[in-house]
Each structure stands twice: as C-alpha cells, then as structure tokens.
Amino acid sequence: MFIQHKQLKYLNVPAEKVTHLHSASSSVQLAFAEYPPQLCRAYLLQISGGNKVLIVVAFYLTENQCSICFVPEFGEVSSADAEETYEEGYSFVESMGFVLTETDYHLLSVKKKQSYWTALPICQPPKKQEPDTPVSTEIPVQESDAPVSAEIPVQEIEKLRSRSLKSLGRFFASM
C-alpha cells in the first residue's frame, strides 16, 4: 500500500539514481485532500541507492503547479523486492484511471537522462506556495547500504492511511 509523503513536494534526485520511469500518457481529473479537483499527470519511478530501492508515485497537479508524492508504507525495499513493489505502484496508479507508458528512460545516455529528468514537472519546486507548507524536502540518496528514505512515525502513517481512505472514498463517489 502506498501512502502520501506530505513533506515531499518535488523530487530533487540525481538523474542517474532513477533506474526506471513510467509516465501517464494523458491527464486525469482527480481530487486530493486540500486541493480542488483538477487535471493531474502521473509518474511511477524507481530510485536506487546502495542495496535499497525506493518506489515513488508522483502526481503533478496542473492547476496548483505542485506535486503530490506517495511511497510504500514500509519505505524503501531491498533490490530483490523492488520489482514486486514497482508492480504494486503500477496497479495503484492505474486504479486511479491513468494509463502508464514506458519512457525508455533507462536506455537513454547519461546526458539525455539529465535533460529529460530535470525537465519533468515533478522535479521542479512548486510554483504556487500554500500557506504553512514547507517548500521542499530532498530525498536522501546515498551510495552506501543506508536507507534511501527517512522513517515515518507510526502515528503519522495511521493519520495518512485514514486520510487516504477518505480521499479514496471521495474519488470513488465522484465517478
């Protein structure tokens, strides 16, 4: 299960750490908590660091010009479990009405990866700031066996899970 990472406002990750990238072929109208319904783009990516992998689902809200990121509730996974978690992320994104397509990002040269990655809207700081919202949080990417993401307290996970279920209910009610 994927949960929203509230502190993550955009992906400030080196292009070479992104090992797999899918993007939605078109926008879908969604309503996230604290935002009005609007067209969104979806991205599914795999970030590798050491022996750990972080799968991220990122939605770019076109009207608010900001990103909302979801990560697995248990955080980063081992390289051996990455494929299964990536498939769960794929199903999560497609369950929201998106059709994901392979970008062939992993086949690009280093220079083309860099220009492609930095041009994506999910890599840009939010253009419109919300009151009392931090600007951004970088994803820690390390060369060692250290975790790729920070631990999320259990209380916050429960709050996010509850809010996600409410948001999902509103989403299904709008269909």
**3 DSSP β-pair partners:** 71
Predicted confidence band at 87 (pLDDT cuts at 50, 70, 90)? Answer: very high
Tally of helices (H runs) and strands (E runs) in the chain: 3, 8
Task: Output the DSSP codes for 19-56.
Answer: EEEEEESS-EEE--TTS-SEEEEEEEEEEEETTEEEEE
Sign of CA dihedral 150, 53, 98, 126: positive
Of 38, 16, 24, which Cα lies nearest the Cα of 112? 16
Average pLDDT, the chain: 80
pLDDT at 91: 93
**110 DSSP β-pair partners:** none
35-53 pLDDT, tens digit per residue, is 899 999 999 999 988 789 9
pLDDT at 44: 95
pLDDT at 132: 44
Residue 29 has pLDDT above 90, yes or no: yes
Q: Quick one: residue 132, left, alpha or beta (phi over 0 = left, psi -120 to 50 = alpha)?
A: left
59-81 pLDDT, tens digit per residue, is 999 998 999 999 998 888 888 88
- Secondary structure letter of residue 147 according to DSSP: -
pLDDT at 140: 52
The tokens describing 173, both together, are 């009610």
pLDDT at 136: 47
123-163 pLDDT, tens digit per residue, is 888 876 554 444 444 555 545 454 444 555 666 666 666 66
Residue 57 has pLDDT above 70, yes or no: yes
pLDDT at 126: 82
Nearest 5°: the CA angle 47, 27, 64 is 80
Could you give the percent of the chain with pLDDT greater than 90?
A: 35
